[in-house]
Structure 1
Amino acid sequence: MANKEKLPWDLEEEILSRVPPTSLDRFKTVCKRWNALFNDKTFINNHKMTFQFVLSTRSKIYSVSVNPKVEVRELTLNNPGLKAQRHKNLFATSGLLLCDVGNGAVVWNPWLKQSRCIKLEVNEPSLDFLGIGYDNNKRVEEIVYKTLSVYMKDLGSQYTWKIHDFASDTWIDQEIEKTKYSRRITEGSVTIRLTNLSVVSLNGKFFKFCDLPSGKNRRRDALALRVFREDRFSLLRQCHVTKKIKIWVTKNKIDNRYGGDVKWMSFMEVSIPTMPDLEHPKFNSQPSYFIDDKRLVICSCDETGRAWIYVVGGNKLVSKTQLDSVVDPWPLHCTYFPSLVLVPGGQREEAELQEAKNLHVTTELYVPGKTKSSIKLHYG
């Protein structure tokens, strides 16, 4: 039998980057090389269906990619067992998205189209969900995810943390003082107060982590916190008066100890007097952003509530794009990078599951001066 010509690895990788994300998780078991590839964040970032922002309006949910052209796609999220309504909050962390829907929450991986509902207990008051994370316990191999929420116990000064454990499907209560739950900007279970960075650990403890590098902030200044390169923090501040943007990042990796030795360093400064306001406090609309090398990409709403993507580099506004296809003003939005993290106990959309089971992909490549090559990917 004649020897079959093998595809060059770069062409094989190009073909795999076109495979639907719902199938990549199953293809990890094909061989060690594919498994390593699918765990490579560069591969995921270069996938043809990757995106960097998720936006939610009263009626629709969207993904937005900037690669470098801005592309908007509509997403679907079925909430079985939960009343359909606009999301109250969106939080992305650990490769998962937490959608607060008022009468409960949905933990969702929009890339894999997998989700899980979190229903409130009987007679439970309405909760404000604040984030999702997991215990940093290296002695336990299995990651146990938990969500963090809060509610006012009465009209007095007492608030209560509500922590939901995915593995046991149980709730844990922890009372806190009202003074510790003030105006906040939240990134997962990390909270920015006006002058310092506070952390809510998933056992309910609330403690100061470190001082912020931005100093005293005016109320109209935009202040947004992000995780930077997976293990550090970044902080964006825009001065309301001058429109100047400054970004700091933590110098060292963040561990689970309190951050008395955290050091911040200036990462980027951009002075664009014509830059619009990135915060609109009347609608609690903070900017979402990510840093790609020396390029800053921001999602924000203008004074009318329309969503825009701003790309900043070299101390100038490189491009600005209004997201015309996003219906309804003042969408919720957050930065989200796709991952193959499975939702614990989650369910896939049935149509996508059936499609993945019956997947047969054959791609033919024509390379000038060479014979035609093909690769077949089969599952089922």
Structure 2
Amino acid sequence: MSDLPEDLVEEILSWVPAISLKPLRSTCKRWKALLKEPRFNEKHFRKAPNQSCVVMLKEYRLFPMSIDLNVVPPSIEFKGALDLKSSRLNSEQLDIAKVFHCDGLLLCITKDNRPVVCNPYLGETRWIQHENGYKRYSRFALGYENNKSGRTYKILMFYEFNRRVSGFEIYEFSSNSWRVVNDPIWVRICYSGVTLKGNAYWISGGKDHSLRSFDFTRERFGRLAPTCQKCGYMALSVVRDEQLSVLHWSVGSAEVEMWVTNNINTEAELSWSKSFAVDMQSSSPFTSLLIDEEKKVALCCDSCFFPYRKVYTIGEDDEYHVEIPYLTDPVLLHYTNPGEGSWWPLFFNYVPSLVQIQS
């Protein structure tokens, strides 16, 4: 390939999955420099096939999962936890209570409520500092602004009081600084959020369970179509980087429903449709991820405060299988303060990428 024109080499490498590019960084200095260029990273992210894996946050660590839907019942196996160190000089592993995923970057909120951004694939870690420190009830989200030069990654921080949030600030990676955002909106957020196409989404409280979004380009909150009119517990997740899905469990009912939106990038008004429903009997699912929309199969688990603490695969026609316990450390079964500093079970699709943590 050394005899090929540079633009052709770049085009070829832009189609190679990220997981296969990592060893190529040591091939030659020219390739190593190319793989670090933000322009190439942007091109690679658009063209290369995504080789995603399901990751679960449990016991303050992030565990990749091996899932086989071609056997009955489907098999689930936890692999070793991702190696997320405090820094290159400190081998201590991060204690993660919450996490946001965007383009291969992980915004991890630690047990003591401090934000740190990691790229596990590249082995990069960056602590996000604030001159005034972080309040006890600070909340965070990761996203990006689309501009002419590509994607500019940002972090949203807001403060929560009495289940309502205000006091918005934005951190920009390019300037390494925080600034206040004067969005007058007050929102009530009850469920864990996700990032899709650069914007953050949450399900808000209230009678209609509306969808709240934050546009990182315009730096404004928005209110989208409600997911369901019935009260109950919900969990929000992303489908193939195109749609949102919601697991809904009504209070007093054994039925668990999976709802899916139309594609987020369309100009049409956001709409929801029920994918399938399952009778889970006495189960209490807390978080979920739609892992196969064609087969209509979802991965879910109950809250760590319910007695089951198991991972499930559920599917239409009332087919579901109780798989395995997801807690192994008996010490973590007991919490002195479950509201703050505690991890909550969470699934997401992690896609390795060459996106660097901008300095």
* TM above 0.5: yes
Residue 228 of structure 2 is matched in structure 1 by 214
Say whether 1:248 aligns with 2:259.
yes
SS at match of 1:119: coil
Residue 120 of structure 1 is matched in structure 2 by 130
Shift, 1:224, TM fit: 1.7
Shift, 1:148, TM fit: 1.1
Contact (CA 8 Å) 2:55, 2:62: kept in 1 or not?
A: no
Segment drifting more, 332-341 vs 296-305? 296-305
Residue 336 of structure 2 is matched in structure 1 by none
Identity %, equivalent residues = 19
SS at match of 2:23: helix
Shift, 1:336, TM fit: 2.7
One-letter amino acid matched to 1:96: L
Residue 77 of structure 2 is matched in structure 1 by 71
Map Cα deviations across residues 239-278 of structure 1 (whole Å, 9 max, x no partner). Answer: 23222122222224336x8x8x222222x22232425111
Gaps of at least 5 residues in structure 1 are 1-15, 46-50, 280-286, 347-380
Shift, 1:238, TM fit: 1.8
Residue 149 of structure 2 is matched in structure 1 by 141
One-letter amino acid matched to 2:115: A
How far apart are the structure 1 equivalents of 2:245 and 2:26? 34
One of 193, 204, 222 as aligned partner of 2:204? 193
Residue 23 of structure 1 is matched in structure 2 by 23
**Residues 1:298 and 1:170: Cα distance change in structure 2 (over 3 Å):** same
How far apart are the structure 2 equivalents of 1:55 and 1:173? 30
How far apart are the structure 1 equivalents of 2:24 and 2:282? 40
One-letter amino acid matched to 1:23: P
SS at match of 1:180: coil
Segment drifting more, 336-345 vs 323-332? 323-332
**Residues 1:170 and 1:306: Cα distance change in structure 2 (over 3 Å):** farther
One-letter amino acid matched to 1:216: K
Shift, 1:61, TM fit: 3.9
Map Cα deviations across residues 6-44 of structure 1 (whole Å, 9 max, x no partner). Answer: xxxxxxxxxx99x778436778959xxxx7999212xx2
Contact (CA 8 Å) 2:243, 2:263: kept in 1 or not?
A: yes
One-letter amino acid matched to 2:152: V
Decide which structure has the larger Cα Rg and report it: 1
**Residues 1:66 and 1:326: Cα distance change in structure 2 (over 3 Å):** farther
TM-score (norm: length of structure 2): 0.69
One of 98, 110, 113 as aligned partner of 2:107? 98
One-letter amino acid matched to 1:288: S
SS at match of 2:279: coil
Gaps of at least 5 residues in structure 2 are 1-15, 33-43, 70-74, 334-342
Contact (CA 8 Å) 2:119, 2:356: kept in 1 or not?
A: yes
Displaced runs of 4 or more, over 6 A = 24-28, 35-38, 81-85
Residue 272 of structure 1 is matched in structure 2 by 279
SS at match of 2:128: strand
Number of residue-to-residue matches in the alignment:
301
Contact (CA 8 Å) 1:24, 1:38: kept in 2 or not?
A: no
**Residues 1:141 and 1:309: Cα distance change in structure 2 (over 3 Å):** same
Say whether 1:107 aligns with 2:120.
no
How far apart are the structure 2 equivalents of 1:62 and 1:143? 28
**Residues 1:263 and 1:74: Cα distance change in structure 2 (over 3 Å):** closer
SS at match of 1:55: strand
TM-score (norm: length of structure 1): 0.66
